[in-house]
Amino acid sequence: MKSYEFYLEVWKKYAVVDGRAQRAEYWYFYLFSAIGVFTTVIASSFISEYLNILIWLYYLAIFIPSITLTVRRLHDTNRSGWWYFFGLVPIVGGIVLFIFMVLDSEPGENRYGPNPKGVKAA
């Protein structure tokens, strides 16, 4: 899969929390989102300050997909989506969620579905 296809896959599963999302899908979504925001910030500083509303509209647009993607990524590591709320714990919660997002997929099928990479358990 090409990098932009991972980004588009998130938009296809806009509000889907069932299933699993592999690591590349998660990180490419956030990479392209950061590039989009950065580009809009630079453009708004040169063109018009009123373009700042585009940044907020983009944040609003990616709000639900980013939550559902994180839940599917947690499923990929065989953790419940409720772990998402652990991120609300100051400092420690963000670090723990980051570690979960960096971990590799659980091989084979788990309770959330088949491995999106197609890797079978040993």
Domain limits, the chain: 3-102
- Looking at residue 122, its pLDDT comes to 54
> Does residue 110 sit in helix, strand or coil?
strand
Residue 8 has pLDDT above 80, yes or no: yes
Taking the C-alpha atoms of residue 69 and residue 92, their distance in angstroms, rounded to an integer, is 21
- Structure pTM? 0.87
28 token code pair: 């490419």
Is 115 within 8 Å of 106 (Cβ atoms)?
A: yes
Residue 113 has pLDDT above 80, yes or no: yes
121 token code pair: 């358990």
Taking the C-alpha atoms of residue 79 and residue 76, their distance in angstroms, rounded to an integer, is 7
Residue-wise pLDDT for 56-81, tens only, equals 888 899 999 999 999 999 999 999 99
- Dihedral angle sign, alpha carbons of residues 108, 113, 114, 116: negative
